[in-house]
Amino acid sequence: MRSIYLCNKKNSVESVYADSFDKLPEVERRVYTSAEVIASPETFKDVEYVFSTWGMPSMSEEEIKNCFPSLKCVFYAAGSVQAFARPFLSCGVKVFSAWAANAVPVVEYTLAQIILSNKGFFAHSREMKKGNREAGKVMKNGYPGNYGENVGIIGVGMIGSQVAERLKAYKLNVLAFDPFLSDERARELGIKKATLDELFSTCRVVSNHMANNEQTKGMLDYKYFSKMLPYSTFINTGRGAQVVEADLVRVLEERPDVTAILDVTYPEPPAEGHAFYSLPNCFLTPHIAGSLMNETHRMAEYIIEEYKRFISGEPRRYEVSEKMLETMA
């Protein structure tokens, strides 16, 4: 039973698995890149388990069959597997992801932004820094606070559902758009299914967590952003490509009362001179919602537990199927 680390970003493995190397003594400590594997396929004929994280290479079915004929599983200590999973799954290799672990900090980031947005934190802070105390007093009447207000969630997967669960403690009304959300699941979460039109026209905060695929690219455009309520906020921790950014810029220019909090853009970071940098009602963070520093160790812990469940024959929790890729981030 031979196991290796496979990653084109060797430092990622050193960082994510920093506290876990000793827990996987059976895994060869060296980190291999796809170029090294493809250059010497005979060396890897007996590899059964691959461990990786951010930087996991995308390989063709032919390359996988040629280099890893004995491979059973890929254990990925990170979130989205969209970039590499399908060829492995097509070759009969099981793929496991620590998406649940990576979801935790995104949920925490989103929850914090929603709570601050409903208090008008970003707009008030901007005006106070300009010394405009009177404008801040006027704006207080525009922000509802965190009781009984509508919050819109786009995408009710691992992250969106956890955000909805945590918002219950604040007595907020959660509306959600997700074509794959069943009525039963909506009842379990205590949320109301809604259209995108309803979300943007009735929710003071709208947060995007939709899966990234061809169908969702460019789905959020001017017809939705233009319907945002006064003093409302759009939060994006999903993917930048889902937003028609020129349309969002247009609304932010037309509506100084509207705020955008963008942890993701397309491309990342925005091109030099992009309006996002200069618009006072746009707040950018450099894709920090996901796991950072010590938080990445949680992902390794999840994937090690999943590996141990697999080799002991116990039920697994985080196996990825081709069907799941249709709706996963």
User: What would the pLDDT profile of 197-219 be if each residue is shown by its tens digit?
Assistant: 999 999 999 999 998 888 899 99
Q: Say if residue 239 is in the same domain as residue 204.
A: yes
Query: How many other CB atoms are found less than 10 A from the CB of residue 277?
Result: 12
Q: What pLDDT, on the 0 to 100 scale, is given for residue 327? A: 72
Domain count, the chain: 2
Q: Say if residue 245 is in the same domain as residue 111.
A: yes
Least confident of 58-67, 112-121, 169-178, 212-221: 212-221
Average of per-residue pLDDT across 141-161: 92
Q: Say if residue 303 is in the same domain as residue 243.
A: no
- Model confidence over 272-285: pLDDT tens digits? 999 999 999 999 99
Q: Say if residue 75 is in the same domain as residue 190.
A: no
- Model confidence over 17-72: pLDDT tens digits? 998 999 999 999 999 999 999 999 999 999 999 999 999 999 999 999 999 999 99
Q: Which domain holds residue 112?
A: 102-284
Q: Say if residue 43 is in the same domain as residue 134.
A: no
- Would you state the torsion angle of the CA atoms of residues 220, 221, 227, 228, taken in this order, to the nearest 10 degrees? 60
Q: What pLDDT, on the 0 to 100 scale, is given for residue 57? A: 97
Q: How far apart are the first and last CA of the chain?
A: 32
pTM: 0.85
Q: What is the CATH number of the domain that holds 245?
A: 3.40.50.720
Nearest residue to 146 via CA among 165, 123, 174, 126:
174
**CB of 299 closer than 8 Å to CB of 102:** yes
Q: What pLDDT, on the 0 to 100 scale, is given for residue 136? A: 65
Q: Is the pLDDT of residue 139 over 80?
A: no
Burial per residue of 291-322, b for 16 or more beta-carbon CB atoms within 10 angstroms, e otherwise: beeeebbbbbbbbbbbbebbeeeeeeebebee
Give me 269's structure tokens. 């970071």
Q: Say if residue 211 is in the same domain as residue 257.
A: yes
**In the structure, what pLDDT confidence band is assigned to residue 1 with cuts at 50, 70 and 90?**
low
Q: Say if residue 201 is in the same domain as residue 301.
A: no
Phi/psi region, residue 287 (left: phi>0; alpha: psi -120 to 50; beta: rest), is left
- Model confidence over 304-324: pLDDT tens digits? 999 999 999 999 999 999 888
d(CA 213, CA 148): 33
d(CA 244, CA 238): 13
